[in-house]
Amino acid sequence: MLRINFANLIDRHREDKRALQAIEEWLNRHQDTTVLYPSVLARETSLDAVSLAKALRILVKEGILRQVYKVKTPTGVLTDEEFNDPTEIPEQLPDRLNQYFATAESDVVPVFQMVA
């Protein structure tokens, strides 16, 4: 995992201190993590949606994370493919069994990758 100086981040973003500290603690417990899923972070840190979103945006702006998008299959699993922009998502994608499904009615989920 990339070492992040959260002390400097918190100094520059004091209003988001609690959320940044919660993400730092979560990352310390999950050191092999390369992808952050907001739903998992929300559940495991007890951060409210607004605080979590602001902290993730800060980490993106600071170049620590990169936001990409995945599509949820009809069975509720995220596809392996990642897209830089939701407009890049094709009309059909394969699920884990390599069966194609229409993406128009599927949820698009933002995920965050650690930047190397």
Residues making up the chain, counted from first to last = 116
For residue 34, which phi and psi values (nearest 5 degrees)?
A: -120, -15
Domain ranges of the chain: 6-65, 67-114
pLDDT of residue 116: 65
Mean pLDDT taken over the chain: 93
Parallel, antiparallel or unpaired: strands 35-36 and 100-102: unpaired
pLDDT of residue 1: 46
CA dihedral sign, ordered 90, 95, 99, 103: negative
Q: Token pair of 57, please? A: 């945006």
Whether the predicted pLDDT of 4 surpasses 90: no
pLDDT in tens, 8-58: 999 999 999 999 999 999 999 998 989 999 999 999 999 999 999 999 999
